[in-house]
Amino acid sequence: MTIARKTKAKIKMIEMGIVPAFTGHELSTMLKSLSEEEGRKAKRKFRKQWRKMLKEDPSLSYLLIPDNESEPDKNHLRNRACMIVSSIIRDIDS
């Protein structure tokens, strides 16, 4: 991914109100730098985005939601982040 695409994606993420991170380490560092209230808002906006994605394409449920309605594991959390970032990048390219 080129620097220009990365920058555009991060700007889009900021406009959406979510943390502009591509890796888990980046995400945890950025969330720690936010106040508790700002972090809660960013997390809420992220949840809104992946739920919106799930409504648009319910076939993704096996990737985003655990089968037994328990807490999501690392794979589900990573899938959610990857799906949101990839959709943002796709939107930038189109």
- Per-residue pLDDT band for 1 (boundaries 50, 70, 90) equals confident
Q: What confidence tens digit (pLDDT) does each residue in 36-74 have?
A: 999 999 999 999 999 999 999 999 888 888 887 788 899
pLDDT band of 94, cuts 50, 70, 90: confident
Q: What is the CA radius of gyration of the chain?
A: 14
CB 59 within 8 A of CB 49: no
> Where on the phi/psi map is residue 53: left (φ > 0), alpha (ψ -120 to 50), or beta?
alpha
Q: What is the pLDDT of residues 8-18, one digit of tens each?
A: 999 999 999 99
